[in-house]
């Protein structure tokens, strides 16, 4: 039996963060600083910038949770492609199980987990499409093979075998061998406009920090802290 400790490197703990900051001659993290903000998007931008600098793989990876028509929950990983004060954006096939569930309920939950920072951000909100101009611009920025894949994949539909998929890829590659590949009508972006955001940070002995932002009806955010 393999030694899992040799295969999976340990995550840095709270003490490691302080020790590294001290060794690098940087200011020690301020326990109180991040609780003083009233703007969750500014805090997210700060944490996301740190994640992009320190996460080994896909710092923009985020789980997207939905429910189907029976109320059964579903979850999968996607990549965040944009965010601003209007919400968090990812792209997908609207005919997939994910897309159909988003279309049916208009709601989703997101969770970012950055292991190297020992932090996570959870978001719940309402879902809308990005504009056609936004979707077209992002689709045009993708590699051509990825564009072909968006046409060839009948996402979430049963498939007899890989060869069937490869035939479809070859067919669309031939169809769009010359010129630009248009964006499929069934492929677009979803924007999750948050109504609830939680920032979680690891602390020793499971005595973690949890900071909550709840959107107020009149605008702005109400903040609170939760027991870990």
pLDDT in tens, 174-206: 999 999 999 999 999 999 999 999 999 998 888
pLDDT at 31 over 80: no
Q: What pLDDT, on the 0 to 100 scale, is given for residue 206?
A: 85
2 located within any domain: no
- The encoded tokens of residue 53 equal 């600098």
Strands 119-129 and 107-114: antiparallel
Q: What pLDDT, on the 0 to 100 scale, is given for residue 38?
A: 82
Q: Domain with 138 in it: what CATH number?
A: 2.30.110.10
Q: What pLDDT, on the 0 to 100 scale, is given for residue 12?
A: 58
111 located within any domain: yes
Q: What pLDDT, on the 0 to 100 scale, is given for residue 4?
A: 54
| Residue 122 structural domain | 10-225
pTM: 0.85
Q: What pLDDT, on the 0 to 100 scale, is given for residue 177?
A: 96
Decide if 72 contacts 63 (C-beta within 8 A): no
State the average pLDDT over residues 4-12.
Answer: 58
Query: Helices 144-152 and 162-175 sit at what angle, rounded to 10 degrees?
Result: 120
Residue-wise pLDDT tens digits, 34-89: 677 889 999 999 999 999 999 989 999 999 999 999 999 999 999 999 999 999 99
Taking the C-alpha atoms of residue 109 and residue 125, their distance in angstroms, rounded to an integer, is 6
Query: Where are the extended beta strands (E) located within 57-206?
Result: 61-67, 73-79, 82-84, 87-93, 107-114, 119-129, 187-201
Residue-wise pLDDT tens digits, 201-220: 998 888 889 999 999 999 99
Taking the C-alpha atoms of residue 160 and residue 224, their distance in angstroms, rounded to an integer, is 51
- The encoded tokens of residue 184 equal 């499929």
Count of domains for the chain: 1
4 located within any domain: no
Indicate if 206 belongs to the active site: yes
Count of CA atoms in the C-beta half-sphere (13 A) of 133 = 0
35 located within any domain: yes
Q: What pLDDT, on the 0 to 100 scale, is given for residue 84?
A: 96
208 located within any domain: yes
Q: What pLDDT, on the 0 to 100 scale, is given for residue 160?
A: 92
219 located within any domain: yes
176 located within any domain: yes
5 located within any domain: no
Catalytic residue among 4, 32, 162, 206: 206
pLDDT at 140 over 70: yes
The average confidence (pLDDT) of the chain is 90
- Scanning the structure block, which residue is given the tokens 């569930």? 101
């Amino acid at each position: 039996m393999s030694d899992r400790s040799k295969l999976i490197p340990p995550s840095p703990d709270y003490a490691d963060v302080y020790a590294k900051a001290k060794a690098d001659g940087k200011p020690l993290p301020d326990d109180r600083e991040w609780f003083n903000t009233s703007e969750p998007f500014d805090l997210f931008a700060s944490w996301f910038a740190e994640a992009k600098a320190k996460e080994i793989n896909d710092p923009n990876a985020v789980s997207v949770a939905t429910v189907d028509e029976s109320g059964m929950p579903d979850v999968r990983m996607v990549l965040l492609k944009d965010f601003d004060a209007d919400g968090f954006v990812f792209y997908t096939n609207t005919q997939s199980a994910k897309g159909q569930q988003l279309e049916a309920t208009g709601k989703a939950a997101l969770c970012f987990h950055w292991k190297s920072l020992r932090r996570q951000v959870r978001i719940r909100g309402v879902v809308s499409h990005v504009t056609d101009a936004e979707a077209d611009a992002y689709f045009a920025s993708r590699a051509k093979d990825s564009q072909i894949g968006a046409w060839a994949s009948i996402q979430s539909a049963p498939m007899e075998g890989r060869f069937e998929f490869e035939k479809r890829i070859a067919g669309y590659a031939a169809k769009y061998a010359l010129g630009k590949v248009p964006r499929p009508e069934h492929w677009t972006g979803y924007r999750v406009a948050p109504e609830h955001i939680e920032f979680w940070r690891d602390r020793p002995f499971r005595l973690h920090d949890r900071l909550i932002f709840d959107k107020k009806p009149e605008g702005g955010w109400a903040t609170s802290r939760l027991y870990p």
